[in-house]
Structure 1
Amino acid sequence: MKACLLIIDVQKGFDDTNFWGERNNTNAEENMLLLLGAFREVGLPIFHVQHQSENENSPLHPSKLGYQLKTGFEPKTEEPLFIKNVNSAFIGTDLKETLEKEMIKHIVVIGLTTNHCVSTTTRMAANYGYSVSLIHDATAAFSIHSYNGTVFSAQDVHESALAHLHQEFAEIISTDEALSRWGSISSYMQ
């Protein structure tokens, strides 16, 4: 089953904790870079996603420096970049058509943030019939204020998002599990 790595919204604007608040998994980018390197090493396809916010106050608005991908996450020439302005990487892009053309059946998802674009894209991928692995320590979330004023910590938000996806939309695995599976085997290139 041919696999690919899908890297969602690893942008400089997510470093703005004044805008976003408390974050968990502060080493998520290190794990993402390990996975990116492993997929490049074995020649598996890599797809990048960048969020283009329509909110002029957002650090992810194209007029802001935060719109840029973080250092080390720039796509290589053969790695497509999909620009989106909603939570799903499938909406307003040709991601699905590209996956079909490449005959991808399994998507390994990493990026930011767990409960927003990562979750929405994972759900849609599963609904489209793709097998999905979501790497829990290569994504992260921010604390949120609920409709009733309750504040949920970044870790609680992250764990809750993963719990909702687990088994129904994706398998939830670690970077180490993913590296042992995809880092050195060529069966996922067919």
Structure 2
Amino acid sequence: MELKTNAALIIIDQQKGILHPKLGRRNNPQAEERILELLGYWRRTGRPVIHVQHLSRSEDSVFWPQQSGVEFQERFQPSMGEWLIQKQVPDAFCSTGLEARLCEAGIDQLIIVGVATHNSVESTARTAGNLGFETWVAEDACFTFDKADFFGNAHSAEEVHAMSLGNLHGEYATVVSTAQIL
């Protein structure tokens, strides 16, 4: 496991709306601290940072463009020279040009963090792996929410998070901790 000098940190959906109480109970309350540790390291070492912003097509979404929830949280504001990718579906590669930009920049190693583990993180990591990128997901720099399965059985955010990481690890991505990366 070696971090390349041009490894890209992809920070998914760290927008004000993700903190809305209507999303329910979440896991991993330290996730934002871990993301900020990684972001600080990436900025200090001059590695590429990619901020992904969700622009929902649904008016009742916390990421609907006509309200403040769509804006980045202050602590995750993109800095000069960092990339901004705007998406309308969970997968940050879908109709965004992300793959082409990464290839043009010669970037083939991606470290994915953010929200929600079972949704945009998993979707983006699956595509990254399928496209042949060396993909790492930082398990302690992601979080998700309590969710019912297809049959109506309730699952805690911890269970949803663990299953999502299990879906990814070894097939689409390598799941690691922030400490392992740093």
TM-score, normalised to structure 1's length? 0.91
Give aligned pairs, total.
178
User: Which of 128, 131, 136 is the aligned partner of 1:128?
Assistant: 131
TM-score, normalised to structure 2's length? 0.95
Q: Distance in 2 between matches of 1:113 and 1:70?
A: 15
Q: Distance in 2 between matches of 1:66 and 1:26?
A: 19
- Percent pairwise identity: 38
Q: What does residue 116 of structure 1 align with? A: 119
Q: Distance in 1 between matches of 2:95 and 2:144?
A: 24
Q: Distance in 1 between matches of 2:100 and 2:50?
A: 13
Q: What does residue 34 of structure 1 align with? A: 37
Superposition pairs of residues 29-68 of structure 1, within 5 angstroms: 29-68=32-71
Q: Distance in 2 between matches of 1:46 and 1:106?
A: 12
Higher relative contact order (CA 8 A, sep 6+): 1
Q: What does residue 11 of structure 2 align with? A: 7
Counterpart amino acid of residue 144 in structure 1: K
Query: SS of the residue aligned with 2:76?
Result: coil
Q: Which runs of 4+ in 1 moved over 3 A?
A: none
- Tell me if 1:177 matches 2:172: no
User: Which of 96, 109, 121 is the aligned partner of 1:93?
Assistant: 96
Deviation of residue 141 (structure 1)?
Answer: 0.6
- Structure 2 portions without partners, runs of 5+: none
Instruction: Kindly provide the CA deviation profile for residues 45-92 of structure 1, in whole angstroms up to 9, marking residues without a partner as x.
Output: 111100011110111101121111111111112011011000100112
Q: Distance in 2 between matches of 1:77 and 1:41?
A: 14
Q: Distance in 1 between matches of 2:73 and 2:29?
A: 14
- Structure 1 portions without partners, runs of 5+: 180-190
